[in-house]
Structure 1
Amino acid sequence: MLEAFSDFLKLLDGLLGGSVWFPYILLGVGLFFTLYLGFPQVRYFKHAWLVVTGKLDRKGAPGDTSHFQALATALSGTVGTGNIGGVAFAIYLGGPAALFWMWATAFLGMTTKFVEVTLSHKYRIKTEDGTMAGGPMFYMDRRLNMKWLAGAFAIATVVSSFGTGNLPQSNNIAIGIESTFGLSPAITGGVLAVLLALVILGGIHRIAKVTSSIVPVMSVIYVVGALAVIFYNLENIGPAFGSIFSQIFTGSAATGGFLGATIAYAFNRGVNRGLFSNEAGQGSAPIAHASARADEPVSEGMVSILEPFIDTILICTLTGLVILSSGVWTEKHLNDFDKTETSIIAGQYSDKDDEDKNNLFLYLNEEKGHNIEMYNGTIEVVSGKAQSQGFTILHARSVAEDVRFLLSEEEDLYTGSLVIQNGKIQKENIILRGKSLIHSAELTTEAFTRGYFGDYGQYIVSIGLLLFAFSTAIAWSYYGDRAITYLIGPRGVMPYRVFYVAGFFWASFSDTALIWDIAAIAIVLMTLPNLFGIMLLRKEMKQTVKDYWSDYESKRSGS
């Protein structure tokens, strides 16, 4: 049942976020507004820092939070597992070139976020309890008069609050804590679920206060740990950058256990992970920025320009360089195999043989020309070791080595016959343990041990992951409850928060790959309506920016 659901999610992701057309739409909208507005991410960058520091604040401006608190809340929603696990996942899938496409997504995303935040702030409302509520659903409703689109976006926001801000965050925290401290994921999830409930029940004021405290601390801790690895492997930084740029238009060649990736695969996954990291175009950050005290929507839009820069161009780059310079992304590591990422193929293949590598490369990158078929038959196992031949176990896009078959209940070595149908083991309680590539937070954790801090580096990742991911879950709870408020009113907020906390607990001990699949789909379901909406308001956006600068210059000359 679980594998069937996973296959369905992968199919859906392939039609949406993993499709050929989605990255082009995302980057295309960002490129359009970059040219249409004259590179605002460059021209307004300095001004954005002036706004966020409060030097241009006006007394009495309506709102619930300062510019910095709004930025911190939005950053806490974006700086999360995308920076730790997402970068590692992109490199694992597409090789070094995927990092370049994350940069491209961030650069163009700086403009996209500027547009979506400005328009959303412009059409925000004051709710019954006196707090501000905003986001794309409000400009879709109040300006475009497209209640159907606003409703679709709000529903997608609720779904995405689980798929983006909740489930992946909890899952990665639990994995990181378990691998570092050996603590049960269920215990980690339970404790953090209680803390999450205590924070989100306080609304935007408590959320803003907590996130504005966490974001600076977690950023400093993580940067220090990353630099310790980068300087330790300084001789590999040049080759790391070289591999990023040299493989942009060629695809990533096979190296070590990594079997290579095509240009299309690296491009698609780099853009996809870039969006997951900085959320530019997704329409989530405007919900946080709508709470900012400002009477000029453009000024808050300026603040949002800084988000993709800090999140992706700075933090994600550090993570990428740590992984590439340490070399762990090409190495096989002992781990328990996720069933959804494991397949058994007919024939014996080796990643040391050039012909086999080419065949596997075509298969894994979904290209034509391979002759790989799923294995069907029986495997005889004695004391955990397969006695049969004629098959190859693939896990995490790599040829698995030193595989042992265990009984999941006791972790005892298995002895007996295993029926394999279409590449999948039919016996439910079997765990495969062996050496293969790793990804997500697990890969980043391993990379952080290859620096001056040695094995202690893993604690930096665990602490950083805990703070990053927990703050993301806090921010996304606010996004979700604003969407619920739009859909059914304040009465729906408390039930939503209960489900949100319950989901956070459940995800702590659920399948990693399944969580990422859900997140990838949820992102697209928010992004497409938002991109459509801001394109319809392109002329208004341009005039709003023009009016802002005209007003700004007149007040400066008047003073």
Structure 2
Amino acid sequence: MPPVDSFADFVSEASSFVWGPLLLIPLLLGTGLFLTIRLRGIQFRKLGAALRLGLLQRKEPGAADGDISHYQALTTALAATVGVGNIAGVATAIGLGGPGALFWMWVTGLVGMASKYSEAFLGSKFRVVDENGEQRGGPQEYLKRGIRGPAGKVLAVAFAVFAALAAFGIGNMTQTNTIAQSLDDTFGVPPLVTGIAIVVFVGVVLIGGIKRIGNVTASFVPTMILFYIVAGTVVLGANVTAIPDAFALIFTDAFTGTAATGGFVGSTVAMALQFGVARGLFSNESGLGSAAIVAAAAKTVHPVRQGLVSMTQTFIDTIIVVSFTGLVIITSGAWTSGKEGAAMTADAMSTGPFAQVGGAVVAIAVVFFALSTVIGWAYYGERCATSLFGIRVSLPYRAVFTLVCLVGAMWELDLVWGVADVLNGLMALPNLIGLLVLSGLIARETKAYLAKDPDLTDPSAALADLEPAR
């Protein structure tokens, strides 16, 4: 790498390497593809049954260990993932990699569903009960309990450290800063006022722990997603004749690159791949390990059932919500405007009926999406912190996390975005290693359970023998 003249330069170089073509991109796609093959395309075979269990049935019949329902676990995971990445992240990927980047975001989502299933399965299988009687699980538990010897413990500690720190960046300051800037630019709300309002909201939710978080996200998340999809549908309706050409552009540019046009400077296939995969993971977090933390809190009679419900989160995030953003940007022609991030999405939304209020629609969506991410990541960070230092740090962590929301709203955070990207990547590394090492266990237990309950309609099949958690 070139000489590093400052910390900012170092962070930029580190982010480029971690998210470059030699490390996370092949590891993420490779792991997802490997698990897809080993699990015989479980994300395609069982998607319908998983959606029914998570969205319609919502909880297990009868008693089951856990703190929250399937549905609450799913909406909490969606809260953490459906965030700024679905608005600004998609625009950034298309703005730098061209329309073809959306194709690679889809690929990341589809193969990532197998990764999400696997990590949620392990999170549920290897969870433990903490001193407060609540479930604690995720990579920080299944790495040390599933992989024997010092290697598993080192991987578990590494994940917990990176995740507890990353929560303050990607799950807090970057989100609250985006809310404050968006409300200031669109409605003239001072960042201090926004920051105080966020602190009050987040503090009230977090003080109630995972049960209150689950209750809030169960109503909050469906509302925000429905609002955004309806808005996107209106814009796509105004640009309906451009949809076929948009799909053609997405598929061709994914493999040929994009020539310069309008305010777009052109891109290569490598750029489409790099930015599509990087922003895809930023959005859906498949392979990152974070969603396994809340999957461990779900009331379930078998890890396979929770794994399948958690898998649908990636489908909803990437195949549905990300697609709406990407198609709105491409069909409107906003991707050639030269604008960046949320400004590009706002420009795209300012089409047809939203010609005068597109910016306001995006600003409202940013508030919903980013606030939900803050809530979800607060839980992730806290669970990782308690795995390192014990339950005594739970309330202090929540308090500090809440107050940092004000810092995020008030400061310029260009450097924090870079650090957040690096920490996200470093979180993924130990988790992906664990998924590969434990893939045999995942495949065996998945096959055994689905042989007895292929449609997820017979929870009694959970009485089938499980390999003991180590």
Shift in alpha-carbon separation, 1:55–1:184, aligned structure 2, 3 A = closer
Q: Could you tell me which amino acid in structure 2 is paired with residue 72 of structure 1?
A: T
**Cα 1:502/1:8, change in 2 over 3 Å:** farther
Letter in 2 for 1:252: T
2:223 counterpart of 1:221 = no
Q: How does 1:486-497 map to 2 (within 5 A)?
A: 486-497=387-398
Contact 1:289 1:300 in 2 (8 A): yes
Who is 2:143 aligned against?
A: 140
Verify the 8 A CA contact 1:88 1:443 in the aligned structure 2.
yes
Q: Is 1:48–2:54 an aligned residue pair?
A: no
Distance in 2 of aligned mates of 1:558 and 1:295: 8
Task: State the partner residue of 2:129.
Answer: 126
What is residue 374 of structure 2 aligned with on the other side?
Answer: 473
Q: Partners in 1 of 2:396 and 2:377 — Cα distance?
A: 15
**Closer, same or farther: CA 55–441 of 1 in aligned 2, 3 Å:** closer
Structure 1: how far apart are the matches of 2:7 and 2:233? Answer: 40
**Of the candidates 200, 203, 207, which is equivalent to residue 206 of structure 2?**
200
Q: Deviations over 1:204-224 (max 9, x none)?
A: 011001111111110111111
Q: How big is each residue's C-alpha offset from its partner over 1:315-354, in whole Å with a ceiling of 9 and x where there is no partner?
A: 00100111111222222xxxxxxxxxxxxxxxxxxxxxxx
61, 64, 76: which one pairs with 1:61?
64
Q: Quote how far apart the aligned CAs of 1:556 are.
A: 5.3
Cα distance 1:543–1:453, how it changes in 2: closer, same or farther (>3 A)?
A: same
Match of 2:269? 263
Partners of 1:177 and 1:557 in 2: CA distance:
47
Answer 1 or 2: higher relative contact order, Cα 8 Å, separation at least 6: 2
Aligned to 2:34: 32
- Letter of the structure 2 residue corresponding to residue 172 of structure 1: T
- Cα shift readout 1:472-528 (whole Å, capped 9, x = no counterpart): 100100000000110001111222223312322222233354343222112111101
- Summarize the Cα distance change of 1:160–1:42 in structure 2 as closer, same or farther, 3 Å threshold: same
1:434-465, CA deviations, whole angstroms, 9 ceiling, x for partnerless residues? xxx32222221222112312222222211111
Instruction: Judge conservation of contact 1:18–1:269 (CA < 8 Å) in 2.
Output: no
1:538 is aligned to 2:439: yes
Count of equivalent residues:
452
Deviation at 1:555, TM superposition (A): 9.0
Q: Counterpart in 2 of 1:185? A: 191
Matches within 5 A, 1:416-495: 437-495=338-396
How far did 1:167 drift? 2.0
Structure (1 or 2) with the larger CA radius of gyration: 1
Structure 1 runs (4+) greater than 6 angstroms displaced = none
Deviation per residue, 1:80-126 (Å, 9 max, x gap): 11111110111111111111100000000111100110011100011
**Bigger share in strand:** 1
Structure-1 residue corresponding to 2:403: 502
Counterpart-to-counterpart distance in 1, 2:58 and 2:320: 24
Cα 1:450–1:556, aligned 2, differ >3 Å: closer, same or farther?
A: closer
The corresponding residue for 1:392 is none
Give the alignment partner of residue 74 of structure 2, picking from 71, 92, 96: 71
Residues 365-420 of structure 1: per-residue CA shift (max 9 Å, x gap): xxxxxxxxxxxxxxxxxxxxxxxxxxxxxxxxxxxxxxxxxxxxxxxxxxxxxxxx
1:311-326 residue pairs with structure 2 within 5 A?
Answer: 311-326=317-332
Partner of 2:101: 98
Which secondary structure does the structure 2 equivalent of 1:508 belong to? helix
Decide whether the 8 Å contact of 1:230 with 1:451 is kept in 2.
no
Partner of 1:173: 179
Query: Counterpart of 2:106 in 1: which secondary structure?
Result: helix
TM-score in terms of structure 1 length: 0.78
Q: Contact 1:225–1:457 at 8 Å: present in 2 too? A: no
Alpha-carbon distance in 1 for matches of 2:46, 2:460? 22
Q: Which amino acid aligns with 2:170?
A: T
> Can you list the C-alpha shifts for 1:202-247, whole angstroms capped at 9, x where unaligned?
1001100111111111011111111121111222222222211111
Q: What is the CA–CA distance in structure 2 between the aligned matches of 1:442 and 1:4, rounded to whole Å?
A: 29
What are structure 2's unaligned runs of at least 5 residues? Answer: 462-470
Matches within 5 A, 1:226-305: 226-305=232-311
Q: CA deviation at 1:55?
A: 7.2
Q: Is the helix fraction higher in 1 or 2?
A: 2
- C-alpha separation in 1, matches of 2:191 and 2:249: 36
